[in-house]
Amino acid sequence: MNPILKNKILSIGLILAFILSSQSALAAQNSFFAGFRSALLSIIKTIDYWVSGFINYKEIQEENNVLTFQNRALKSLLIEYRDLKEENELLKEALQLKKTKDIDFILANIVGRSPLNFSQTFVIDKGEEDGIKVGQAVIWGGKTLVGEVIEVSKNFSTVRALTDTEFKTAVFVGDNKIEGLFKGNGFLDPYVDLVPLKEQVQEKDQVYTSGLDKKFIRGLYIGEAKSVEKPQDKIFLDIKIQPAIDWTKIYQVLIIK
């Protein structure tokens, strides 16, 4: 066969094949294949979601940390907002706000937690070289108190969580700023002690540091009252606290310099 004629026939054949295939593809939009295709795509999409979830696990965890942080930040901001509303305290609160703005933080990762049922402590990857000192407040989620630094070595520090039996700090309870002493209670709920029976404390009242013990700055959020009881044979209220942060579930903390 003449090669020119052969090429012409091949070209026409290719054009026809293209037109036919595109027409059949258009016709297939509503056919059985379309349903099959969408089912396959949805399966691939599901697999993709799972795989990318596994691959991006770290990012998702970090994002979750950031969101938790922001959530707690909003809660602590709420306390400040309410404080600012109080006319008599306006000036003092403005001063406090300025003070908190001047605070420097050190970000640290939690690298170990107490393994058994006794102490409620954890180890962070920042130490003396990073400016950590014994007694510094450890926070997370804005200004939510997590614990205090109790031991510092060159590159690591040990932090006592606020649920530890040895943890104590002066606090305010509720809008009326009732003074009390917050105490950790190990595996049991922490509580606020030294609040006289005559004081009006309600469930869900927020508890935050008062700064009166000169241990921590004022306004670090601790949690809310879980239950309030008035024991007949005692002179102080029995106030159990639900901490705002479960320290066993966080992986990073901020240390106030």
Partner 1 sequence: MKKSVKNFLKIFLFGLFIGILALAQISFINDLPILGVKINLVLIGILANIFNPSWTLIIWGAIIGGLIYDFTSLFNFTYLISFLILIILFRTIGRKYLVEKHLFLNFFFGVFGTLIFNFFYVLINYLFFHQNFFAYFLSWRHLIEMCLNGLGVFLFGLIAQIPSVIKANLRH
Q: Which chain residues interact with partner 1 by CB under 8 A?
A: 112-119, 121-123, 151, 153, 158, 165-166, 185-188, 248
The nearest distance, CB 190 to partner 1, in angstroms, is 12
Beta carbon nearer to partner 1, 26 or 116: 116
Beta carbon nearer to partner 1, 144 or 158: 158
The nearest distance, CB 157 to partner 1, in angstroms, is 10
Q: Of 123, 162, 119, which Cα lies nearest the Cα of 144?
A: 162
Beta carbon nearer to partner 1, 100 or 119: 119
The nearest distance, CB 249 to partner 1, in angstroms, is 8
The nearest distance, CB 77 to partner 1, in angstroms, is 30
Beta carbon nearer to partner 1, 17 or 111: 111
Task: Write the DSSP symbol of residue 203.
Answer: T
Phi/psi for 84 (5° steps) reads: -65, -25
CA–CA–CA angle 180, 185, 191 (5° rounding): 30
Structural contact between residues 148 and 159, judged by C-beta atoms closer than 8 angstroms: yes
Rounded distance between C-alpha atoms, residue 37 and residue 57, angstroms: 29
| Helix/strand/coil percent split, the chain, to 5 | 40, 30, 35
